[in-house]
Amino acid sequence: GAGVSQSPSNKVTEKGKDVELRCDPISGHTALYWYRQSLGQGLEFLIYFQGNSAPDKSGLPSDRFSAERTGGSVSTLTIQRTQQEDSAVYLCASSLPSGQGNEKLFFGSGTQLSVL
Amino acid sequence: KQEVTQIPAALSVPEGENLVLNCSFTDSAIYNLQWFRQDPGKGLTSLLLIQSSQREQTSGRLNASLDKSSGRSTLYIAASQPGDSATYLCAVRHHGNKLVFGAGTILRVKS
């Protein structure tokens, strides 16, 4: 595709359920990021993947959050036993590898997660 | 810990005005700085990226400057238009891989 694709665009779930959010980055972009944007707050870094390197998970807020990136392309963010405070827009972004002087991030439209 | 602050939080101007959005960061050891635009319900669109060795970047009516030593960047928008209405976000790439974002400036350009 031409841009970063995220699905679903909206997800409503009950407290305690698990959810999976998907991100399909731009072809050829080896760097992939997940961010969270809560109402009235800035973007919060969650996790970063770069090629085959070990991911930077330093932003994951708890062990209920995990992410994987299979085949260096599509990524899935999983939230287990969702809580109401997990409600936010989850944004995925991809870019060329950092250090090449062209590290503009391209964002998807996000997944609006609502935990009831 | 790197912190990014954007001023003002919101701005309303009449069409045609030139305007300046401000971004400051606490740790000058940055790799690069990016300005983004976010429309309601949408993701972010990268506007300009300034490497740490650069002083400014221009794209059309937009000009972004970077003063790394003082921890400041400005985004200048010339001849503003209603279509410029959006939230503008500044982000710095600090140590490691993540970008640290400011809270944004909500811009409204009135026709």
Give the model confidence (pLDDT) of A20-53 as tens digits. Answer: 999 999 998 989 999 999 887 789 999 999 888 8
What pLDDT, on a 0 to 100 scale, did the predictor assign at position A70?
83
CB contact under 8 A, B93 and A98: yes
Proportion of chain A above pLDDT 90, given as a percent? 72
- From chain B, the residues in CB contact with A107 under 8 A are 36, 43-45
pLDDT above 90: residue A72: no
Distances in whole angstroms, Cα of residue A52 to Cα of each of A30, B38, B49, B83: 9, 31, 26, 41
Contact check, Cβ <8 Å, B46/A33 = no
A33 touches chain B (CB under 8 A): yes
User: For A76-112, what is each residue's pLDDT tens digit?
Assistant: 999 999 999 999 999 999 998 766 656 888 999 999 9
Write down the residue that tokens 């937009």 correspond to.
B62
CA atoms lying within 13 Å on the CB side of residue B72: 7
Question: If we measure between CA atoms, which residue out of A26, A25, A44, A24 comes closest to residue A35?
Answer: A44
- Region A6-32: mean pLDDT is 95
Q: What are phi and psi of A49, to 5 degrees?
A: -115, 140
**Model confidence at A12: pLDDT above 90:** yes
Chain A residues within 8 A of B51 when measuring between CB atoms: 101
Burial of B69 (0-12, 13-18, 19+ CB in 10 A): exposed
Question: Is the backbone of residue B37 left (phi > 0), alpha (psi -120 to 50) or beta?
Answer: beta
pLDDT given for residue A52 in this prediction: 83
Q: How many residues does chain B have?
A: 111
What average pLDDT score do residues A54-60 get?
91
Among A48, A107, A108, the residue with its CB nearest the CB of B97 is A48
Contact A52, A2 (CB under 8 A): no
A43 touches chain B (CB under 8 A): yes
First to last CA, chain A: 33
- Provide the residue-wise pLDDT of chain B in tens; the chain has 111 residues: 889 999 999 999 999 999 999 999 999 989 899 999 999 888 899 999 999 999 999 999 999 999 999 999 999 999 999 999 999 999 999 876 778 999 999 999 999
Q: With an 8 Å Cβ cutoff, is B54 touching chain A? A: no
Q: What is the pLDDT of residue A99?
A: 64
User: Among partner residues B32, B44, B103, which is closest to A107 by beta-carbon distance?
Assistant: B44
Q: Which of A31, A48, A104 sits opposite B46 (nearest CB)?
A: A104
